[in-house]
Amino acid sequence: MKNIDTFNDIINYMSLFTNLEKNLNHVNTRTYRLDRMNKLLDHFNHPEKNFKSIHVAGSKGKGSTSIFIAKGLESQGFKVGLYASPHLLDYRERFTLCGTFFENNFLISCGKYLINKLNSFTFKDEWGEASPTTFELFTLYSFILFSESHCNWAVIETGLGGRLDATNTIIPVASVITPIELEHTNILGTTITAIATEKSKIIKKNIPSFIATMRDEAKEVMIEEAKNQNSEIHILEQNITLIKTHTTIEGEVISINWKDGREDNLILKLRGAVMANNAALALMTLKSLGFDNDKVVEAIETTTLPGRFETISQNPTLVIDGAHTPVSITSLINTVSQLYDKSKIVIIFGIIEDKDFTHIIQSLLTNFNTFIISKPGTFKKSDPKAIYNFFEQKINNNQSVILKEDSKTALLYAKHICPKDGIILCCGSFYMATEIAQANLELMEKTECH
């Protein structure tokens, strides 16, 4: 192993291990499990026990719900860690102090400690020796960072699923589950019930659980698991009488009427109707834990998060969004429709292989006319040519679609054809949003140099 001198060296080292985020095609019981992660935590003297934690799982809304909760806790004077994935432009986004990067020297010193101590770690079972996965090391790294920086609290997102996710080794103060959709069906199951079952396993014995509004079959799974674990369950729809929301240029204007007669009125910087529900879930969690005051509401209002209906440049307006499921795409379309003339929108679309692209594309085709199909990076498998062919078969005479696999080429073409008063909207994957954000950054730097 070469010298570890930078944060990127640490990430590159951890990425040498089995990376389940990158390739889920060959997952088996030897790679996707908890016993090895538990042994790893034993070896490192359980850094995750040195702070209170809140565990968040779900198919959509994990990122925004997690940072809403983290910001609410921070507003009470606590030091709060936040472990999230994926990142948009920088791996440091995964391991933060409530969205703020740790100092570089601290990141490096904790990384060196992890790597040096890992040299004496071994794990062996009936199948032989097995090394940690990349995600297990990322998870351990976050625990070390939060412990060594003396965090009071940490909000921990699952990476995939819940039952066998590396993060499911913590004993949290609360378990929070956001809406369930069909996702990663080759790993989690092919039905809402099966996926909900995997997610529900973050509910712990005698630990309260907080459940988003979700489909009945998913909610029934959560209720049953909470009953089995003697977990006091708080279901969002049973705690509110009404959520009203409206998207404006200034933000998402929401009003939440609680069953106890109270009302919260917020203007979120994070726009979109789904954000109203995510904010309500975060507020319900925080209120139930005893944090119910104006500072919590103000913190949630001012929260921002990369890649969630984020405007990253103007002339023309360029918006990136990580929407990659039928429900999130529908929500994105509703948000866009309240702000812009849909006839003047150019869509840059890229999606990875294991997503339900047929229903997503049908929704896009019903609402927009101009499409550029691109490649959402190389981190996960994708087939932009197949996506392009699907679009081409479905478009009508008033619509157009073109394939520009290179993200920079796609963005340049979008800027060329987009009306001056129109917008370019990138969606389909956080990886696609990352590609376009990076391409835009490079184009802006090139313009500044000239």
Q: Give the pLDDT confidence of 125-146 residue by residue, as tens digits.
A: 766 568 899 999 999 999 999 9
The CB density around residue 259, as the number of other CB atoms within 10 Å, is 9
Amino acid at 209: S
Residue 189: the pLDDT is: 81
Strand partners, 403: 373
The strand pairing partners of 282, in sequence order, are: none
Q: Is 240 helix (H, G, I), strand (E, B) or coil?
A: strand
One-character DSSP codes across 376-429: --SSS---HHHHHHHHHHH--TT-EEEE--SHHHHHHHHHHHS-TT-EEEEES-
Q: With contact defined as beta carbons under 8 Å apart, do 259 and 237 qualify?
A: no
- Residues whose CB falls within 8 Å of the CB of residue 116, separated by 6 or more in sequence, listed in order: none
CA-nearest of 316, 439, 307 to 374 is: 439
Whether the Cβ atoms of residue 138 and residue 94 lie closer than 8 Å to each other: yes
Identify the residue whose tokens are 């073109």: 402
Position 30 confidence tier, pLDDT thresholds 50, 70, 90? very low
pLDDT over 70 at 337, yes or no: yes
Q: Which residues of 119-137 are buried (b: 16+ CB within 10 A; e: fewer)?
A: eeeebeeeeeebebbbbbb
Q: What is the pLDDT of residues 207-222, one digit of tens each?
A: 999 999 999 999 999 9
What integer pLDDT is reported at residue 428 of this predicted model? 95
Q: What is the pLDDT of residue 29?
A: 45
Report the 10 Å Cβ neighbour count for 211. 29
Question: Nearest-CA neighbor of 87 among 16, 180, 157?
Answer: 157
Domains and CATH numbers, the chain: 7-301 (3.40.1190.10), 310-449 (3.90.190.20)
Distance CA 208, CA 17 (A): 35
Q: pLDDT band for 193, please (50, 70, 90 cuts).
A: very high
Residue 268 sits at the vertex; the CA angle it makes with 315 and 440, to the nearest 5 degrees, is 30
DSSP label at residue 102 = P
What is the average per-residue pLDDT within 111-120? Answer: 96
Q: Is the pLDDT of residue 76 over 70?
A: yes
CA distance 374 to 410: 7
CB atoms closer than 10 angstroms to residue 9: 17
pLDDT of residue 33: 77
For residue 75, pLDDT beyond 60: yes
Q: Is the pLDDT of residue 25 over 60?
A: no
pLDDT tens per residue, range 34-68: 999 999 999 999 999 999 999 999 998 999 999 99
Least confident of 92-106, 178-192, 331-345: 178-192
Q: Which residue in the block uniquely carries the two structure tokens 């073409």?
A: 413
Structure tokens at 15: 């990425």
Please give the Cα distance from 381 to 378 (Å, whole number): 7
Give the contacts of 53 (CB within 8 A, at least 6 positions apart): 153, 154, 155, 156, 170, 171, 172, 173
Closest among 235, 230, 228 to 178, alpha carbons compared = 235
Distance of alpha carbon 405 from alpha carbon 394, whole angstroms: 20
Taking the CA atoms of 319, 320, 324 and 327 in sequence, report the sign of the dihedral they define: negative
Q: Alpha helices of 229-314 — where are they, by DSSP H?
A: 236-239, 273-288, 294-301
Query: Residue 450: what pLDDT?
Result: 54
Query: Residue 156 is which amino acid?
Result: I
Average pLDDT over residues 9-18: 93
